[in-house]
Structure 1
């Protein structure tokens, strides 16, 4: 990979630890609205239902089955309903406050800063994210990730989501890079790896959840430090 000049990253769960920060934010809201006392379910009981709902709905967005507006309308209602809490008002409050609250927490994935410090003197660094633009901007600008990236491509700008090759094409044009001199690193097999490879860009799969997917010419890592073996 000695021809690489540009390194593109996914944001959520590749650099910015969405799962950890989301859990902190939800715990704060759970306490704020005294959910356990009012409904009898602890936060530890609630959280797996939220995780299942959110992950499933984001997969449906990626596969163009629903819109982001539908995700926002459904994720907390679905999580509370499945847990056994019939409270649409509470679900609406959680959705309204969640995206503001989550950016109060800015944990990054283990090894992210060490990797960025290693890469920055050698490569131009960029981000391509499917996340909500207003939230994703705050995630970057209010965290220690700020200042590392020459370009950030937001799916919301284009109304096109990874794995659609057009978002990778737009990011390449925006960064004035060439795809044969670029590589993409992400944790979502379909959105990140399948998408970037379909576009014709090299890719590294960050297999944080031990999904064990594989593809010819796609290295798999389980910790960001392993990127240094390839770049």
Structure 2
């Protein structure tokens, strides 16, 4: 790691506590729209459905508008909750608008960024929507840590497509051999980085990778022992 000069981070589920902030967003929307559903029951069904639709979106199989609508429609249908399409559209729009208002970070985020900022140049590569990712960074007060912020929408393709990582390297003016990618998604962040020669650190939730090319950590602060 002595030759490393730049560290790229994913944002959602890696630094920004997506699950917690998303839950608070739905709580606000359910109260406003008088959705008569238990929030925990909703989230238990919604979260895996959301991940699956994100996979489809990442693989270019659905468009952004379809993702936003279908993840909600599928969840309400599975819960046998009758709701009009017009209201789903309202919830979808409110969700995007409200989500950046909640800005909890994963444990250790600030401590890690403070530790790294004097040793490396820090950047973001995210598949999240352009209009909300930069607001998240600003509202959670971590924007100033990063020199380059690359969203998949600005590139036109999504991680793990090599073009996203190549674009980020070019923007940061660094070679792949001198960069690290930190992310929670084994496919999008870790394997995507490996494909272009960037060394990855996998922030895993349940099971670490057995691939010897991959550093696996279960908490952000564990990264300090490697960088």
Return the TM-score normalized by structure 2: 0.96
1:72 to 64, 68, 75: 68
Cα RMSD of the aligned pairs, angstroms, is 1.1
- Specify whether residues 55 and 152 from structure 1 end up closer, same or farther in structure 2 by C-alpha distance, changes over 3 A only: same
State the partner residue of 1:104. 101
SS of residue in 1 equivalent to 2:119: coil
Paired residues of 2:208 and 2:217 also in contact (CA < 8 A): no
Deviation at 1:148, TM superposition (A): 0.3
Number of equivalenced pairs: 226
SS of residue in 1 equivalent to 2:81: coil
State the partner residue of 2:114. 117
1:229 is the counterpart of 2:219 = no
**What residue ranges of structure 1 are gaps of 5+ in the alignment?**
none
Return the TM-score normalized by structure 1: 0.95
Q: Distance in 1 between matches of 2:113 and 2:210?
A: 25
Q: Distance in 1 between matches of 2:190 and 2:208?
A: 13
SS of residue in 2 equivalent to 1:65: coil
SS of residue in 1 equivalent to 2:143: coil
Q: Distance in 1 between matches of 2:69 and 2:207?
A: 29
Deviation at 1:212, TM superposition (A): 3.3
Is 56-65 or 178-187 further displaced after alignment? Answer: 56-65
Is 210-219 or 103-112 further displaced after alignment? Answer: 210-219
State the partner residue of 1:156. 153
Deviation at 1:69, TM superposition (A): 2.1
Q: Distance in 1 between matches of 2:196 and 2:167?
A: 11
Q: Which runs of 4+ in 1 moved over 6 A?
A: none
